[in-house]
Every structure is written in structure tokens, then in C-alpha cells.
Amino acid sequence: MRKKILRTILAAALLSTLFTVTAYAESAVITGDNVNLRSGPGMNYKVVGSIPRGASVKVEDRSNEEWNAITYDGTYGFISANLMSITEDPSAVQVVATDGFGRVNAMYVRFRSGPSDDSSVLGEYNVGKEATITGIAGDWTECIIDGRSGFVNSDYIDVETNGAVAVIDLPQAGGGSQTATVKPDSTPAPTVAPKATQAPKATQAPKATQAPKATPAVKSVASKAGYVDGDYVSFRSGPSNSSAIINTYNRGKELTLTGTSGDWSVVTIDGQSGYMYSSYVKTTGTAQAAATPAPRKGSAGYITANHVQFRGGPSMTSKNLGEFFYGDIVTIYGTSGDWTELSYKDTTGYVFSEYVKKGQFKTESSKVATGEKITGREVADFALNYVGYNYRWGGESPSTGFDCSGFTSFVYKQFGYELNRVACDQAKNGKAVSNDKLQPGDILCFYSSGSYIGHVGLYIGDNMFVHAANSSSGVITSSVTGYYATRGFVARRIL
């Protein structure tokens, strides 16, 4: 009972920066920042909207474990299941959003995707694990751990806050309410970070009559080159665990030490100055030019899909820096879990590793020029990069959109092959292939009525083909079975 009262008071104390979101059964609350709403269940589908943190959405379908179908502001689409919290309880769940700092206070504490024991487990953490607090949802604390957003049962996390006085109405049993005035302790909780191998010592909040401890002055030191000596180390805007996190870095990240402030080091990373807990900073010698650190060594790479998000950190909730498209040239520095750190036009960030590849990018036309053998599989894989693009009658380029024959013409043109422009004439290109011997790269010319051919697509394998379907669907993949099988088609092999 006492814990529930304390949690209620804590929620009141955090109201200085609150917003409230109410979700109901068959609904969900968005737990990420500016989450992309896509036209299909995957990163390759085009973005049709953006949803802010805390927004309530209607859940349409959860049969796909990774991507859920939802409706938001009348727009239907798909979002990552990890970035939303399903509300099973028909009563309202109130989420109070704020900024704060906390630590896990027990062993094997489960970090979940939503405020419920039924929500999926994102990870398990032990005593002393740092968390950035973003909200309170009933008996659960919403927080960010290692760059991921989720929920921890409030019994298992100690919260430190410098919130202002807040006056709210608290509901009473049996109806009615009482007014509660909450004044948080005026002195910030100590900011000493625990060593990785030791549990943190309990911190007792000072009495309200004590004066706040002054932040240690910054002491300049001779600039020294160094590196990060730890994983998921926070790089902050000030010498405190409650200061805003600029970014997180892993072991080996290069830095320049320029000063100290108590237990914190003033460092410069990628040209930006900030603070890092000194236990995680190692120096290697005097820096020749602290303001202009030596260029990092990286390897050439390129992006392998379209609409790939460029993030400020190794997490789906990190700041969105922009969007990549197939063939964009980047410089690769390393990996952090499932993410690859890279730079593009003087900006450093992270991309999901599945969508980046090391090596020199070769355009399809350059392969033709050098006489490299082209396979149907390569043609099919290239065509799949344009799933989600718009349909446009007479269109034959990514910038305008495609019609069916414009799409197949565009794809094969990149490999040095000129196809006839309309579907019925493309049925004369290449050589005939029986329907039971289809291979990726073959074009399928479908009948519309009688012997007239009015549609064309490109076979990708497993009884599937990719095509510019219509104005409402754009470029999609479809099965050769069912409707399209009943229409009938002729197959032509171009290569």
C-alpha cells in the first residue's frame, strides 16, 4: 500500500512537464518519437505518415509479430510492434510523460514493450542499470535503457527527479477526490555512477532544508587523445546523470579529453563537446589539435534499400537524421548490436545493419560496361527496391512513378536491355518460357480479355512477382496463383 501511495506522489511530482494520453481496449499508445507509418509491414515500404510519442492509435491486426496494422487520423498503415504499447485493460491507462533519471534496484528485472506483464520482454537488467525516465503508466515506469524505449515495474526502479511543485487532484476510493500538494526535494540526488562489477550504494535524499550541492567547476587540462572504455556509455550535455544524453558510444570510440568536473570528464567527440563519466574515459597521449581531432578511419559502403532511416543513435527511438535510398554511398565505421555506425555528407549516425553493405557500389550500367554476367536473380532483387513507389499512367521512372510496362522497361534498362514500351509488345521480347519453368527475372505478360495482353510484371521466385499494380497500390508484390493465375499469362525470358 505504501509503495502505491509513493508512486502516486511521484507521478504528481513529475507533472511539471506532463502530457496525458488515454488508450482503450483494441487501442495502443505510441512509445517512440515520430514513429513512421508505412504502407506495408517492413522497412522497404514507403512512409505514409508520422506519429508522435503518446498518440493513441486503433489496432487493426497483430498477426504479424514484428509489424502491426493500425489506423491513425484516418490513415491505415503499419508500424513496428516494438514502438507501441497495446492496452488490454478496458479502463483508461494514464501515461504521465516527463524527463528524469533512475536505476534498476533488483536482479533480473524485465524490461517490457508495454505497461503489462503480458507485454513482450525487451531485455533483463540488474541492480544499478541506468535508465532515462520518460513517464509513469499506472504501476509501471516508462523509460529508455540502452537506447530502447519500454516499461519497468515501478517497484524495481528508483527514480531521481528535480521536478517543481505540483498540485493535482487524486482520486479516492468510493468516488470523489482530494487535493495533494507535492514538493520534491530541492537537492538533486547524487550522480556517482556505479562500477560495472559492484552494486550501487543506496542514496539517501538530503533533507529539504539543506542547500543544493554546487556543480564542481570545470578544470581545464592539457588536451589528450583517448577512447571510450565501456559499452553504451552516455555522452551528456552536463556533468550529471540527469543531464540530457547527446549520444551513446561503445568501447573504442575516439575522443579528446579537455577538462574535468568532479567525477566527470569534459570530452570532444566528432567535433562536439560534452561530458562523460570519468571511469569510462581512457587517454592515450597528448592531442596535437583538440579542436580538430584526427579523421576517423572507415571503409566504403552503400545502402541496399529505399526509405532507410538514418538515426542519431543505435535505436529506433533515436533522432531521425534523414532517409537513405538504394545506392547512396556511405563510410562505415563499425557496428553496435544490430546497427551500423556510418557517415554521410559529414553527418555521423546509425543505420539498421540489414540495409548497408561494405564495398564499392556498382550501378547496373557499370556492370554491363565491364562485361560482367548479369543474372535474373540480380534483376529481380533490383526490382524489389522499388516496392512502395507510386503508380502513374505512362510513368517510367522513380521520380514520376511507373505504369506496369514502364516499370519492367525501367528495370531492364538499368542492365542494358531495351524492352518494347507496352505490355502486349513486351510479350514479343526475349524468348518464350513454359509456366512450369519460371526463373527470377522472367517477365509475365497477363491477358486482360481474350487474347489481349494488358498487364506485365517481373517474376521474383516462389510463385511471386513484382509489378506496378494500380494507382491505389503502386509497386507491390503479388502471388502468381489465384486471380492472376485465372487471367492467364505468357512468360518471356530476357537474359
Rounded mean pLDDT, 265-274:
90
> What number of helices (H) and strands (E) belong to the chain?
6, 39
pLDDT of residue 286: 52
Give pLDDT, residue 442.
97
Query: Are 307 and 426 within one domain?
Result: no
Return the pLDDT at 52. Answer: 87
Instruction: Determine, yes or no, domain membership for 201.
Output: no
Q: Does residue 308 register a pLDDT over 50? A: yes
**pLDDT of 71 over the 50 cut:** yes
Q: What is the pLDDT of residue 215?
A: 65
Each residue of 357-368: pLDDT tens digit? Answer: 888 776 665 566
Q: In this predicted structure, which of 85-89, 170-174, 378-382 has the lowest mean pLDDT?
A: 170-174
Looking at residue 447, what is its pLDDT?
93
Q: What is the pLDDT of residue 179?
A: 37
Cα 113 to Cα 151: distance, rounded to the nearest angstrom: 6
Pair (44, 141) in one structural domain: yes
pLDDT at 383 over 60: yes
Q: 40 with 165, same domain?
A: yes
Average pLDDT estimate for 424-445? 94
The enclosing domain of 98 has a CATH number of 2.30.30.40
Asked which of 131, 150, 171 is the last residue of a domain, the reply is 171
Angle, helix 404-413 to helix 376-384, in steps of 10 degrees? 120
Give the per-residue pLDDT at 66: 82
The residue from 139, 156, 171 where one domain ends is 171
Residue 123 CA to its chain's centroid (Å): 17
d(CA 301, CA 299) in angstroms, rounded, equals 7
Domain contains 378: yes
Say whether both 354 and 429 belong to one domain: no
Judge whether residue 2 has pLDDT over 50. Answer: no
* Grid cell listed for 8: 502516486
Query: For residue 158, what are the domain limits?
Result: 2-171
pLDDT of 439 higher than 90 = yes
What is the total count of domains within the chain? 4
Query: Per-residue pLDDT averaged across 308-330, rounded?
Result: 86
Sorting pLDDT into bands at 50, 70 and 90, what band is 461? very high
Q: Is residue 294 part of a domain?
A: no
Domain-embedded: residue 87: yes
What percentage of residues in the chain have a pLDDT greater than 70? 76
CATH number of the domain residue 484 falls in: 3.90.1720.10
Q: Is residue 9's pLDDT more than 70?
A: no
User: Which of 154, 171, 188 lies at the terminal end of a domain, its last residue?
Assistant: 171
Q: Give 81's pLDDT tier (boundaries 50, 70, 90).
A: confident
Q: Lay out the sheet containing 299-303: strands in order across.
A: 320-324, 308-311, 347-352, 339-344, 329-336, 299-303, 356-358
Residues 381 and 303 in one domain: no
pLDDT given for residue 450 in this prediction: 80
Q: How confident is the model at residue 151 (pLDDT cuts 50, 70, 90)?
A: confident
* 15-29, 252-266, 435-449: range with lowest mean pLDDT: 15-29
Contacts of 185-191 spanning 24+ positions with Cβ under 8 A: 186/212, 187/211, 187/212, 187/213, 188/160, 188/162, 188/212, 188/213, 188/240, 188/242, 189/160, 191/239, 191/240, 191/241, 191/242, 191/263
- The predicted structure's pLDDT at residue 161: 55
pLDDT tens sequence across 331-364 = 999 988 899 999 998 889 999 999 898 887 766 6
Find the range with the poorest average confidence among 154-163, 231-240, 311-320, 427-436: 154-163
Task: Write down the pLDDT at residue 186.
Answer: 35
Average pLDDT over residues 104-112: 85
Shared domain check, 371 and 353: no
Grid coordinates representing 142? 516508462
Tell me, yes or no, whether 329 lies in a domain: yes
Q: For position 420, what pLDDT does the model report?
A: 94
Q: Give the H/E segment covering residue 411.
A: helix 404-413
Same domain assignment for residues 230 and 305 = no
Query: Are 107 and 253 members of one domain?
Result: no
Query: What's the pLDDT tens digit per position in 207-233?
Result: 444 444 566 788 888 889 989 888 778
Q: Is residue 486 part of a domain?
A: yes
The secondary structure element, H or E, covering residue 258 is: strand 254-261
Q: Which residues are catalytic?
A: 404, 455, 467
Return the higher-pLDDT residue of 440 and 211: 440
Residues 225 and 330 in one domain: no
Same domain, 254 and 373: no
34 within some domain:
yes
pLDDT of residue 181 exceeding 70, the answer is no
pLDDT band at 400 (very low <50, low <70, confident <90, very high): confident
- 369 or 457, which is more confident: 457
Name the average pLDDT for the chain: 77
Answer yes or no: do 276 and 311 share one domain: no
Q: What is the pLDDT of residue 147?
A: 67
Q: Same domain, yes or no, for 251 and 347?
A: no
320: pLDDT strictly greater than 90:
no
Let me know if residue 184 belongs to a domain.
no
pLDDT band at 91 (very low <50, low <70, confident <90, very high): very low
